Chains A and B, each alone.
Chain A
Amino acid sequence: MNKNSNIYQIIYAAVMVLIVGTVLAFIYMALKPKQDDNIANDKRKQILSAVHITPASDDAIEETFNKYIVAGYLLNKDGSIADSTENVAFEVEMKNNIKLDERDLPMFKCKLDDGSEKFIVPVYGAGLWGPIWGYVAVNDNGVDIYGAYFTHEGETPGLGAEIANPKFQDQFKDKKIYPDGEFKSISVMKAGQKPTDGSEYVDAISGGTITSRGVQSMLQDCMTPYDPFFRKLQSGTY
């Protein structure tokens, strides 16, 4: 058989691609359920991180989540509850939910061991190389932040990726989003600088300027639509 004839080459390439394609499709199908579980559990872990809860083990994630996150809602633009069916907030994919005027507003209600209630909202934005996202927990007074969690898809390790570092995230604790009665998102500023609009601020990551700016605009974009809801919390009419 002539290995360099055109027919041999074409058949060789076709058969090879068929075999490889079949194998890959099979592996994908076989591993998909396991991967989906991992993704859902990872999301639960991220939401819990916003309220400083770490599940004891990987097997306990779902149990811990169900224990502390007592409800999930979709909110209306005026801050009232639009949908409270089970899992409705959990199933919102933030990456398909970025259009400002028609986005769903998911919110998780969390009840801690000491009985206090925290309200967790998801945030989603752009870093330097890809998407960044996270969850911000607000106290039941609707004014200050209880905790924040951020992560990313592919920011530079050691630089932008440091937004996933608890040291960065802990800075957000107790920052006020209503410093003077008006909603002002938290600013992420170079050390030594201060925002001009009087908003509260945290230190940016040195060497991760674009990612830090991404966090700032992500908070601004994603928290602003919740303004009516936070005001309801403040006035106690929630």
Chain B
Amino acid sequence: MLSKRNKEAFFNPLSKDNPVLVQILGICSTLAVTAKLEPAIVMGISVIAVMAISNVVISLLRKTIPTTIRIIVQLVVVAALVIIVQQILRAYAYDVSLQLSVFIGLIITNCILMGRLEAFALSNKPWPAFLDGIGNGLGYMIILVIVAFFRELLGSGTLFGFQVIPQWCYDHGYMNNGLMILPPMALITVGCIIWVHRSRNKELQEK
């Protein structure tokens, strides 16, 4: 069940082979959904679900898919899953679906999905593909949560919508940094995380 190879498929994406930090995939949505923590977490969970299922589906179909149209097949599978997630959220978690609005649809354009389907699911059995999907989804979600934590804290003074920076700070002239809410600061935050991550993992540094 958990051979060395399977473990690697699951644990590598969390840090050493993180989709955002190392593979530099999924940057676009990392910038878009991380202004607040809550949407970042729901987005992370949705991506994990779509990744895991689409990895398994593509892995099951891998011997039948004609190589010339494989990208189209992957896209159709991902798009169908994303629509299903969207419909289910609308029926059972209406408030959350309103908050995420367009972002759920954006999962389709998340490069991590296509990247993993191409690089892993097409040439591996369903079980490792499933682990790889969960691992990469989690790796993506961890980064989203870290970025959203700093952006919401510094940009709005709140966490999960609750005020955490006390009023007396504002009374003494502290101000929320409006720049943190804008996408460029997400990019810079991700840059800082990559910096910290590389300096702790020397083998990832380019010579």
Q: A154-B101, A207-B178 are in contact. Are A9 and B94 (CB under 8 A)?
A: no
Main SS of the interface on chain A? helix
Mask: chain B, 69-106; 1 = CB below 8 Å from A; 0 = not: 10011001100100110011011101000100110000
Q: Identify which of A24, A28, A157 contacts B39 (C-beta below 8 A).
A: A157
Asked if A20 and B80 make an inter-chain contact with CB atoms under 8 angstroms apart, the answer reads yes
Cα–Cα, bound, A154→B97 (Å): 11
**A20–B76 CB distance below 8 A:** yes
Range of interface residues on B (Cβ < 8 Å): 20 to 34
Taking CB atoms and an 8 Å cut-off, the chain B residues in 37-67 that contact chain A are 39, 64-67
Query: Is A88 an interface residue, CB under 8 A from the partner?
Result: no
A11 to B, closest residue via Cβ? B66
A13 touching B181 by the CB < 8 A rule? Answer: no
Min Cβ gap A21→B in Å is 9
Say yes or no: B155 contacts A158, CB within 8 Å.
Answer: yes
- B67 A4 Cβ-Cβ under 8 A: yes
Contact A3:B64 (CB < 8 A) given known A16-B76, A158-B36: yes
B90 touches A24 (CB 8 A): no
B156 within 8 A of A: yes
Residues of the B chain whose Cβ atoms lie less than 8 Å from the Cβ of A154: 101-102
Complex partner residue of A24 from B36, B69, B83, CB under 8 angstroms: B83
Q: Give chain A's interface residues, CB within 8 Å of chain B.
A: 3-4, 8-9, 12-13, 16-17, 20, 23-24, 27-28, 31, 34-35, 38-39, 42, 129, 151, 153-154, 156-159, 206-207
